[in-house]
């Protein structure tokens, strides 16, 4: 019951600046040992309605604040999260099963995301427009400004319960919007701790509202509510598709799933590539949208790279996420483990070679590597979201690029999020940046690299729009064109 004691002031739903009781409650359990680590409200349609109403009022208050004040509030929230680093890390470990080192890193990133957002509050600007250059527009002076949208609805996934929430809340407030957040049901406690931080930072009531509960019961009414001007969603392609369908003509920003990977050629620094691919393949048990799921290796280095990769994967410390030594902890629940084991089983039945792993104890799936796979195998062309890495080989660099692209689109989705390219050949690196059909190409990093200030997002079924505070603020504002007719 670790988190319950941390949350004693903040259980319930955050509506209109205060913690309100819910019609019913759900337990949050640790993926590691199933212990109850918290209890959160299950909102119903009435609470969603109340949260949106509160957010409409909150919008008037936030939009009325000078940018300097919005920046100050976000800086204060960033500082409070930093002060409570241990508490946030403990909450992330408890509810998501993320190993301590990754949980602590997530808190540090969230501090940075809020700080970056605070800076964006002071950068909302437009441009002058030379209207008199247009025929018939003489004696006009024009410019455009950026204005907030109003109420933003945010729906977030389980795997980064703090930083991905900050990537929505920070820019929304920086831009002068209010927000209604629905965090993932598996990991809502961290978001509630963040809500408490914003109350203490002095955010006006209704500027940030948090409603917890199941996606269809709480997320969907938020998506369908026409008072919500933008839905910003991070999660699976399937739910993203529902949101796109249900939101009608209103704006959506969708950060969706993928089956990312890395290409390693024979000129690469193999030691560096190995370290980065290993981290990308198994960090948080592969439950990362930019998980390095697929490796494409040049035949000249494939045997040595694969042998060392498998050796290292076998040696990763698996176990209790609270233990600082743990590198691989549990998956989010048993159903996720079963689905991943089934993908591995069916790959082996289809002729793939299991080099290590393919087994699990309770929710802990051991790091798994498969060779002799092809682009049509689900373990390659679908998002596995598990500690499973596939290995394929190529003879020349351009066919490696083509194999990566083929594997992105050969399944039920047409993914395009990120690819890492390890090479010391500059021409090949440039070719990769032009030919890989993804939103993010990382040269000499695996797919699992992200800097929070960069524009980040996918193409095709991996999403629309870009996060990173500067870019999210653009999505969360409208351009308003202004013209002055100076007369004759």
Q: Which residues bind ligand NDP (CB under 6 A)?
A: 155-160, 164, 182, 184-186, 214-216, 219-220, 223, 234-236, 239, 242-243, 255-258, 289, 383, 385, 417, 458, 463
Tokens for 149, please give them. Answer: 């949208």
Q: Is the dihedral of CA 234, 239, 240, 245 positive or negative?
A: negative
**How far apart are CB 310 and ligand NDP at their closest, in Å?**
25
Residue 226: count of CB within 10 angstroms of its CB: 10
CB closer to ligand NDP out of 14 and 268: 14
Determine the residue with CB nearest ligand NDP: 215
Helix (H, G, I), strand (E, B), or coil: what is residue 252?
strand
**How far apart are CB 400 and ligand NDP at their closest, in Å?**
23
**How far apart are CB 204 and ligand NDP at their closest, in Å?**
25
In sequence order, the β-bridge partners of residue 179 are: 152, 208
CB closer to ligand NDP out of 30 and 159: 159
26 Ramachandran zone, left/alpha/beta (phi>0; psi -120 to 50)? beta
Known catalytic residue at 119:
no
**How far apart are CB 362 and ligand NDP at their closest, in Å?**
19
In sequence order, the β-bridge partners of residue 336 are: none
CB closer to ligand NDP out of 15 and 228: 228
**How far apart are CB 460 and ligand NDP at their closest, in Å?**
12
**How far apart are CB 235 and ligand NDP at their closest, in Å?**
3
**Which candidate in 112, 120, 255, 327 is catalytic?**
255
Q: Taking the CA of residue 78 as centre, how many other CA atoms within 13 Å lie in the half-sphere pointing to its CB?
A: 23
Known catalytic residue at 86:
no
d(CA 456, CA 402): 23
CB closer to ligand NDP out of 212 and 368: 212
**How far apart are CB 156 and ligand NDP at their closest, in Å?**
6
d(CA 449, CA 444): 10
d(CA 378, CA 298): 23
**Which candidate in 166, 260, 277, 289 is catalytic?**
289
Among candidate residues 310, 205, 269, 321, the one with its CA nearest the CA of residue 446: 269
Tokens for 250, please give them. Answer: 């209103």
- Residue 451, judged by CB atoms within 10 A of its CB (0-12, 13-18, 19+), counts as exposed
The residue length of the chain stands at 488
CB closer to ligand NDP out of 216 and 324: 216
Query: How does DSSP classify residue 131?
Result: G
d(CA 377, CA 56): 48
Residues whose CB falls within 8 Å of the CB of residue 209, separated by 6 or more in sequence, listed in order: 13, 14, 15, 16, 51, 52, 54, 55, 58, 178, 179, 180, 181
CB closer to ligand NDP out of 245 and 427: 245
Helix (H, G, I), strand (E, B), or coil: what is residue 318?
strand
CB closer to ligand NDP out of 93 and 302: 93
Which residues are known catalytic residues?
255, 289
């Amino acid at each position: 019951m670790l988190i319950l004691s941390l949350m004693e002031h903040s259980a319930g739903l955050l509506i209109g600046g205060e913690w309100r009781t819910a019609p019913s409650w759900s337990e949050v359990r640790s993926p590691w040992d199933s212990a109850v680590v918290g209890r959160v409200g299950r909102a119903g349609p009435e609470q969603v309605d109340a949260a949106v109403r509160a957010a409409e009022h909150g919008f008037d208050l936030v939009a009325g604040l000078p940018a300097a004040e919005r920046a100050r509030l976000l800086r204060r929230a960033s500082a409070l999260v930093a002060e409570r680093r241990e508490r946030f890390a403990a909450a992330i470990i408890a509810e998501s099963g993320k190993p301590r080192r990754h949980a602590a890193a997530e808190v540090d990133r969230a501090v940075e995301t809020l700080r970056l957002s605070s800076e964006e509050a002071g950068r909302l600007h437009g441009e002058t427009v030379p209207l008199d250059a247009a025929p018939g527009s003489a004696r006009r002076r024009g410019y455009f400004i950026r204005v907030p949208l109003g109420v933003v609805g945010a729906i977030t996934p389980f795997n980064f319960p703090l930083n991905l929430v900050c990537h929505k809340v920070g820019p929304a407030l920086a831009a002068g919007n209010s927000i209604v957040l629905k965090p993932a049901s598996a990991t809502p406690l961290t978001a509630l701790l963040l809500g408490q931080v914003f109350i203490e930072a002095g955010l006006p009531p209704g500027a940030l509202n948090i409603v917890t509960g199941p996606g269809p019961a709480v997320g969907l009414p938020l998506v369908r509510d026409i008072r919500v001007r933008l839905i910003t969603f991070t999660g699976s392609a399937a739910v993203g598709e529902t949101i796109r369908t249900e939101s009608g003509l209103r704006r959506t920003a969708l950060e969706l799933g993928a089956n990312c990977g890395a290409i390693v050629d024979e000129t690469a620094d193999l030691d560096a590539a190995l370290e980065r691919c290993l981290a990308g393949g198994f960090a948080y048990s592969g439950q990362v949208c930019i998980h390095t799921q697929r490796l494409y290796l040049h035949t000249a280095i494939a045997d040595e790279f694969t042998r060392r990769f498998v050796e290292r994967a076998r040696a990763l410390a698996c176990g209790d996420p609270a233990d600082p030594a743990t590198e691989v902890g549990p998956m989010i629940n048993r159903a996720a483990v079963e689905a991943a084991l089934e993908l591995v089983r069916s790959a082996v039945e289809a002729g793939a070679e299991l080099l290590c792993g393919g087994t699990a104890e309770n929710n802990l799936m051991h790091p798994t590597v498969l060779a002799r796979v092809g682009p049509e195998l689900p373990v390659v062309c679908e998002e596995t979201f598990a500690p499973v890495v596939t290995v394929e080989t190529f003879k020349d660099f351009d066919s490696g690029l083509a194999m990566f692209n083929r594997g992105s689109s050969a399944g039920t989705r047409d993914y395009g999020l990120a690819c890492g390219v390890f090479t010391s050949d500059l021409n090949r690196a440039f070719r990769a940046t032009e030919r890989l059909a993804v939103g993010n190409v990382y040269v000499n990093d695996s797919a699992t690299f992200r800097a929070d200030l960069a524009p980040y997002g996918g193409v095709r079924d991996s999403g629309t729009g870009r996060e990173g505070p500067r870019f999210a603020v653009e999505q969360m504002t409208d351009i308003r064109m202004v013209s002055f007719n100076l007369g004759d």
